Amino acid sequence: MKEVNTPEIATFMSENFSIPADNTKAVMKNLAPAVLNSLLTQLEAGVKKPRVEFHRLGIFSLSIVPAGQRNVRNPKTGEVIEKYFPERCKVHFKVSKSMTNIANVGGILA
C-alpha cells in the first residue's frame, strides 16, 4: 500500500468532493478536532453509540471499552501479569463504498 501525505489527500478532496483547492488545507486541519468534539458532545449528551457521518467519505463512530482486569504478557520473560485497565473510548472509522471505489479505480492509492 502506498503512503499518502496530507497535500495528496487535500488535492484528492478538492478534485472529488467539490471543495475549492485553497480550502482543502483548512478542511484537513480542522477535520479531526471537529469530529472528536462532535463525538464527545454526543457521548456527554447520553447517546449510546455516537457517530458522525460524512457523505461519500465515511463514518466516524465512538465505542467504549469497558474497564476491567486483563491478563497481559511480558514478551521478554513470558510472565503473565494481571493488570487493571480503566474504561476508555475508541474512535473507529469506516470508509464509504464510494470512497473505496474512487481510491481503487485510480485515486490516491493507485
Give residue-wise pLDDT tens across range 47-56.
777 887 777 7
pLDDT reported for residue 53: 79
pLDDT, tens digit, 9 for 90 and up, residues 8-25: 666 766 676 666 766 666
Q: Is residue 19 included in any domain, yes or no?
A: yes
Q: Is residue 59 included in any domain, yes or no?
A: yes
Q: Are 50 and 79 in contact (CB under 8 A)?
A: no
Q: Is residue 1 included in any domain, yes or no?
A: no
Q: Are 6 and 28 in contact (CB under 8 A)?
A: yes
Q: Supply angle C-alpha 99, 31, 66, rounded to 5.
A: 90
Q: Is residue 90 included in any domain, yes or no?
A: yes
**H or E segment at 59?**
strand 58-65
> Which residues lie closer than 8 Å to 104 by C-beta, 6 or more apart?
110
Q: Please choose, from the candidates 88, 5, 108, 96, the residue with its C-alpha nearest in 3D space to the C-alpha of residue 59.
A: 96
pLDDT reported for residue 19: 67
**Domain tally, the chain:** 1
pLDDT reported for residue 45: 79
Residue 34 has pLDDT above 50, yes or no: yes
Q: Is residue 53 included in any domain, yes or no?
A: yes
The torsion region of residue 73 among left (phi > 0), alpha (psi -120 to 50) and beta comes to: beta
CA 52 to chain CA centroid, Å, is 10
Q: Tell me which residue range forms the domain holding 50.
A: 6-106
pLDDT, tens digit, 9 for 90 and up, residues 44-96: 777 777 887 777 778 888 888 888 888 888 899 999 988 888 888 888 888 88
Q: Is residue 36 included in any domain, yes or no?
A: yes
pLDDT reported for residue 92: 82
Q: How confident is the model at residue 1 (pLDDT cuts 50, 70, 90)?
A: very low
**pTM, to two decimals:** 0.53
- What is the gyration radius of the CA atoms in the chain, in angstroms? 19
- Read off the CATH number of the domain in which 66 is found: 4.10.520.10
Residue 110 has pLDDT above 80, yes or no: no
